[in-house]
């Protein structure tokens, strides 16, 4: 009998978000917690991420990465998908429901996340440019378009397609980036949806674990 390999993920040694759980290791940690898989963490500095050892794992020199035996993955969405496929709890058994959950995963990273990332760029990388003040409202409006559409689809449901799935895990993770902007509060059903995600015990465990890296304290119960 071969024992299952404990996966190892890489995360920021010192996250610029100071433990707010906004970096992309959070969605991987959350998925690992949802499926009940223990994991190890390797901390990497910004300098180490650009060195050959890390570039061999991640061609773009970023976190997170995922190592499981011979398998090395990068891209948080792909890692979550891998976990969801190999373990129960994140994808429905019914083939069509499964396909729809996967569709929501793609929608999260491919349709909803890009304008949200644009806001980060506009604020933090381009905030000092002379045209930044004109650009920001346009970026915020593009996010509003997507949030309005998503809000209409979710309506009064708890989750995007019946039961909680990897699609919700990815979508909530993406929407969480908007919290500081106040935009989420313009859509009360989306704000409640994100809060439902954050209230899940698996999310709470993942959040505590990433915060512990920042504070240097082991999470309670660990
Ligand atoms: N598409 C890839 C994925 O989904 O895995 C994107 C990976 C990515 O952008 N990783 C970032 C990284 O390694 C960390 S999460 N950046 C370092 C680099 O590119 O050199 C992005 C992030 C960073 C900081 C905050 N923050 O401070 O709030 C939030 C999110």
What is the torsional sign of CA 1, 31, 107, 154?
positive
Whether the predicted pLDDT of 7 surpasses 70? yes
Asked whether the beta carbons of 64 and 76 are under 8 A apart, the reply is yes
Q: Is 42 helix (H, G, I), strand (E, B) or coil?
A: strand
DSSP string of 144-170?
Answer: HHHHHHHHHHHTT-SSTTSS--HHHHH
pTM, two decimal places = 0.95
In this predicted structure, what is the pLDDT of residue 57?
A: 98
Mean pLDDT of 102-124: 96
In this predicted structure, what is the pLDDT of residue 220?
A: 54
In this predicted structure, what is the pLDDT of residue 3?
A: 65
Asked whether the beta carbons of 171 and 112 are under 8 A apart, the reply is yes
The residue to mutate among 23, 113, 119, having the most atoms of ligand 1 within 8 angstroms of its beta carbon, is 23
Task: For 15-24, write each residue's pLDDT tens digit.
Answer: 999 999 999 9
Q: What residues line ligand 1, using a CB cutoff of 6 Å? A: 16-17, 22-24, 49, 61-64, 75-77
Ligand 1: residue whose CA is nearest its atom 23 = 23
In this predicted structure, what is the pLDDT of residue 71?
A: 98
Task: For 161-217, write each residue's pLDDT tens digit.
Answer: 999 999 999 999 999 999 999 999 999 999 999 999 999 999 999 999 999 999 988
Both tokens of 81, joined, read 């998908």
In this predicted structure, what is the pLDDT of residue 69?
A: 96
The residue to mutate among 61, 63, 105, having the most atoms of ligand 1 within 8 angstroms of its beta carbon, is 63
Mean pLDDT of 85-110: 98
Whether the predicted pLDDT of 221 surpasses 70? no
């Amino acid at each position: 009998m071969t024992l299952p390999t404990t996966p190892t993920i890489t995360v920021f040694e010192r996250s610029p978000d100071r433990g707010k759980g906004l970096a992309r290791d959070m969605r991987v940690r959350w998925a690992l917690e949802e499926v009940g898989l223990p994991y190890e963490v390797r901390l990497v500095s910004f300098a180490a991420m650009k060195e050959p050892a890390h570039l061999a794992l991640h061609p773009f020199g970023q976190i997170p990465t995922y190592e499981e035996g011979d398998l090395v993955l990068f891209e948080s969405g792909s890692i979550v998908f891998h976990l969801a496929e190999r373990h129960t709890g994140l994808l429905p058994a019914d083939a069509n429901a499964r396909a729809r959950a996967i569709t929501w995963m793609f929608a999260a990273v491919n349709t909803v996340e890009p304008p949200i990332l644009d806001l980060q760029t506009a604020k933090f990388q381009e905030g000092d440019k002379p045209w930044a003040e004109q650009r920001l409202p346009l970026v915020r409006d593009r996010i509003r378009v997507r949030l309005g559409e998503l809000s209409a689809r979710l309506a009064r449901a708890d989750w995007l397609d019946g039961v909680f799935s990897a699609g919700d895990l990815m979508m909530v993770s993406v929407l969480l980036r908007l919290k500081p902007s106040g935009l989420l509060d313009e859509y009360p059903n989306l704000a409640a949806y994100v809060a439902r995600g954050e209230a899940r015990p698996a999310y709470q465990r993942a959040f505590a674990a990433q915060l512990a890296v920042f504070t240097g304290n082991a999470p309670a119960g660990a």
